[in-house]
Each structure stands twice: as C-alpha cells, then as structure tokens.
Amino acid sequence: MADPVFKSKITAYVLLSWILAAFGGLMFGYDIGISGGVTGMDDFLIKFFPKIHERKMHVSENNYCKYDDQLLQLFTSSLYLAALVSSFFASKACTLFGRKPTILMASSFFVAGAALSAGSETNWMLILGRILFGIGVGFGNEAVPLFLTEIAPVHLRGAVNILFQLFVTIGIFIANLVNYGTSTMHPNGWRVSLGLAAAPAVVLFIGSLIITETPPSLVEREKPEDGKRALQKIRGVDDVDAEFEEILHACEIARQVKQPFKKLMKKSSMPPLIIAICLQVFQQFTGINAIMFYAPVLFQTLGFKSDASLLSSVITGLVNVSSTFVSIVLVDKAGRRKLLLQACVQMFISQVAIGAILQTHLSATGSLNKGLAAVVVFLVCTFVMSFAWSWGPLGWLIPSETFPMETRTAGFAFAVSSNMLFTFVIAQAFLSMMCHMQAFIFYFFSAWILIMGIFVIFLLPETKGVPIDSMEESVWKQHPVWKNFFLIDANGESKGYEMA
C-alpha cells in the first residue's frame, strides 16, 4: 500500500506494533466496564458498602436513588481524578523519555492497581488501588494515541488511531463478560473481576519492550539517525527521505520552544487546544460513560434482575465493539465531520426516547414491563452504536493529529486531563443526578448532544488526509473562524510559529 505523498507498506512488524500498543485501550476499557458490574455485586456491597446493600434489598426503595452514595461513586471516579493529575506527568515523560517508556510505566502502575484492588480489605485500600489504576490510565491515554498517530501512514492515520478506541470497547465487553461470570462466584467474585485487570496490562508491558519508539520522538530527543532507522522500519521501505525531512523540520521548530505549556497559551495555539478540550468535554456529556459505568445498575433500575442486567450490559458491550469497526472503515473515507454529525442525530433521538419512556412508564418504586424494558435496551444499543463510530474514537483521534510537534505532548495532556476531569465529574455525579433528575437526566444529555452538533457544523475543520505536520497551513489557516487566530505581522509573515 502506497501513500500518495510518502512511501510506505504495511509490514507484520508495524501491524504487531499497532496491536500491542492498542492494548493500552483495552486496559482502560476493562476498567470502565468492570466498575459498574462490581458495584452491582451483593458480596462487594456487603463488604464495603453495607448501607447501600441494605437499601438495595428494600423493594420499596426509590428506583432512581437506591445507589446514590458519594463513597460508592468515589470508588469509580477516583481513578479519573488520579488520571487527570498524572496526565501532565505523562506529558513530561513522553517528551523526556519517549512514548515507549511512558507506555511501560502505564502498564506497571496498572498491574500494581489490579493487585491492590483484588486484595483489598478496607475501603481505603480499594480507593488506593483505584488511584494506581488512574495513574496507569493517565500515562497510557497520553502515550498510546500519540504513539499510534505518529507511526501511522497518513492515509491510514484515522483507522490506526481508532485501534485505541476499538480496544477500549473490547475491554468494556470483556469486563462485562467477566462480571457476568464472576457474579455467581461467592463471596470473592469481585476480587477476580478486579484482579483480571492485570492481564491486559501485562500484555502492554511486554508489548512496550517489543515496539519501536516513534520517529518524531527520537528526532525530538536529538537522535536523528535512530529516528530515520525507526521510520524505515515502520514504513517497510528504505526511501523515507520526504517524510523524514518533514519530521526534521517540525522537530527543529519544536526545539526552539522551550516552554511548550506557555506556548499553548498563545493565540496561535488556541485552535487545536480549544478543539481538543471541547471534544473531550462533549464526549463525556453525550452520557456514554454514565451508561457504560453503570449499565448493570441502570438496567436493575429498569426492573431487570441482577443476572439479566449484567447480560444486557454484555449485549451493549458487543454492540460497542462491532460498531467501532464502522469507524475504522469509514473515518479515512467519509471523514471526521460526517461521522460526528450523523451520530449526533442518532444519539439525540435515542436519549430523548429513553427519557420519554422512563418519564411516562417508570414510577419511583415500580418497574417497566418486559416489552418496554426491551425497547429501552434497544435504544441504549442504538445510542452506544452511534457513539462507537463517532465521538468515542474521534474524541481521541482529532486531538492526537492536530497539534504541531512543539506543543503535541503538552496539548494532548490537556486533552487527556480534560477527558479525565469530565469523566470524573460524570462518574461522581451520575447516580446522584439520576436520583434527583430521574428520567430528565436523559433530556439533560440530549441538550448537550444538540450543542455538540452545532459545534461541529461551525467550528470543527475536516482533517482527513492531511499530513500531521501540515495541519496549521492546510487546516487552521484555511478555516473561516480559526484563521483569525493567526496574526500577520508588518512584513506579511505569519506569527503562527511565534516562539515562547
């Protein structure tokens, strides 16, 4: 396969590198999926949250409020607070040591988190385990998408980067299957669920020893000969001069920027930063993590028994995985904007319909009839489906490909930390919001989806097929809104690369 600008072919080694690095996504996805199932297990609640278990046992308890507990929500959300903080350390590690060692660090923290979580005897051991998981997620989510973007050929960049999100969805699906299996393993099924988080982390650890460092990272750290050899290795051809020259040029500019975080605050750096942060905020305010974290809890609220609710979340996990393949196939053909806009329409309809059914048919202490409950599961699946081929993968892809070399790791750290901040907010607040807003929570997310669609129409440029180090000239300076952020000096020269 040849790129129209840069020569490349797909080798077994580069395919292996893509897959091994993408296990960072599986690690993240497994954790997202495992939390909701574990918090729905009676043995886990009896040991750590006996008051909630007591509440859960009372059939007259308000459907929307039986799981409303700040400490239970902290079990899920503490990971994202730790990931938020650690993403900035991960940015520094990516710059100083490279993407490859940062990925190795991510897997090490995650293995430690799995061990402590599985062996927990007190609430604070449990929370500390989640914090170690969070540091692993912060390091992995910073390094893996950057790694995939930087080693992908231009014409496949979208599909390769989406491997990260594909493996996130596979991780969620595997976690749902594990929870379904361990829910009958009394009294320690929850320990098995949490401990198995080490499995993808071990694969990622081994993978980090096999994969090559990315050429931009090597050149950035003044190892140009190693960078060229790495580029030849991942492209499968010897003639990489044209692409290597572009990397050298981007790194030369980057080298002159001594304070990348300060550079990010300049007006000319705002377009990709604003887009990156907004995409992360919007990704969370679709309501996807509320559904994926708490799918078993949500289905129990709708009247499904414990096993049935776990099975329903397995179904949504399978839909999530299969739909991500749609994005891999279409993202470099149809482009980013079309996928995002189509999904906004589908997600909006699904959320409004779920809200309407619950508002009219689910009382505080009753349950939905089987027919309506099945309709809600179907609507959840249509929602998950559209998210999986749009806002899920593209929320990570677009920030990883739009920053110039000099602010790439710093800018992506803001993207990761924004994602973790708002994931934390949703994880910490969702059960309380469901208690107080009840069915109206789905209207809340619908309103955000409407705002997201407007944002894409007016402010999100198309980045399909644009070389990663040509974004400023080809994308930002051509956009009717963002071009105003690039000042022209008295000599007619762009100040877009003004040095900090």
157, containing H or E segment: helix 157-182
Q: Identify the DSSP state of 11.
A: -
Q: Which two tokens stand for residue 33?
A: 């999926």
Using the predicted structure, report yes or no on whether residue 316 has a pLDDT greater than 50: yes
Whether the ω angle into residue 271 lies within 30 degrees of 0, i.e. cis, is: no
CB 197 within 8 A of CB 114: yes
The amino acid occupying position 74 is: L
Contact between residue 296 and residue 32 where contact means Cβ atoms under 8 Å apart: no
Q: What is the pLDDT of residue 373?
A: 76
Q: What six digits make up the tokens of 311?
A: 């099975």
Please provide the average confidence, as pLDDT, over all residues in the chain.
86
**Distance between CA atoms of residues 297 and 289, nearest Å:** 13
- Tell me the whole-structure pTM to 2 decimals: 0.82
Contact 358, 445 (CB under 8 A): no
What is the number of alpha carbons within 13 Å of residue 73 lying toward its C-beta? Answer: 21
Predicted confidence (pLDDT) at residue 297 exceeds the cutoff of 80: no
User: Does residue 394 carry a pLDDT above 60?
Assistant: yes
Residue 306's pLDDT band (cuts 50, 70, 90):
low
Q: Whole-angstrom Cα distance, residue 144 to residue 1?
A: 24
Confidence of residue 303 (pLDDT cuts 50, 70, 90): low
- Lookup: tokens for 61: 């308890």
Mean pLDDT of 2-19: 80
What percentage of the chain reaches a pLDDT higher than 70?
88
Question: Is the pLDDT reported for residue 1 higher than 50?
Answer: no
**pLDDT-based confidence at residue 215 (cuts at 50, 70, 90):** very high
pLDDT at 444 over 70: yes
The backbone region for 47, taken as left when phi is positive above 0, alpha when psi lies in -120 to 50, beta otherwise, is: alpha
Q: What is residue 492's predicted lDDT score, i.e. its pLDDT? A: 43
The whole-number pLDDT of residue 295 equals 63
Closest CA to 313 of 34, 115, 75, 85: 34
Mean pLDDT across 80-101: 93
Q: What is the mean pLDDT of residues 232-238?
A: 93
Question: Is 50 exceeded by the pLDDT of residue 174?
Answer: yes
The answer to whether 59 and 389 have CB atoms below 8 angstroms apart is: no
Q: Which residues, 6 or more positions from 303, have their beta carbon under 8 angstroms from its beta carbon?
A: 362, 366, 367, 368, 373
What CA–CA distance (Å, rounded) separates 182 from 57?
A: 20
Q: How confident is the model at residue 374 (pLDDT cuts 50, 70, 90)?
A: confident
User: Is 277's pLDDT higher than 90?
Assistant: yes
Residues in the chain: 500
DSSP, collapsed to helix, strand or coil, labels residue 28 as: helix
Q: Looking at residue 81, what is its pLDDT?
A: 87
Output the pLDDT for position 128.
93
Give per-residue pLDDT as tens, 72-81. 777 777 888 8
pLDDT of the residue at 308: 67
Dist CA 139 CA 126 (whole Å): 20
Please tell me the distance from the alpha carbon of residue 293 to that of residue 325, in angstroms, as a whole number: 22
Which region among 129-138, 409-418, 467-476 has the lowest average model confidence (pLDDT)?
467-476
Which of these, 112, 412, 63, 369, lies nearest to 264 by C-alpha position?
412
For 98, the token pair is 């490279």
Q: Looking at residues 449-469, what average pLDDT do you find? A: 94
Distance (Å, rounded) from C-alpha 109 to C-alpha 335? 36
Q: What angle do CA 235, 272, 446 make, to 5 degrees?
A: 110
Task: Read off the pLDDT of residues 185-206 as tens digits, 9 standing for 90 and up.
Answer: 999 999 999 999 999 999 999 9
The top-scoring range by mean pLDDT among 31-35, 47-51, 54-58, 450-454 is 450-454
- Smallest CA-to-CA distance from 254 within 356, 144, 405 is with 405
Mean pLDDT across the stretch 251-256? 84
pLDDT at 55 over 80: no
Alpha helices per DSSP H over 222-287: 224-235, 241-255, 260-264, 270-285
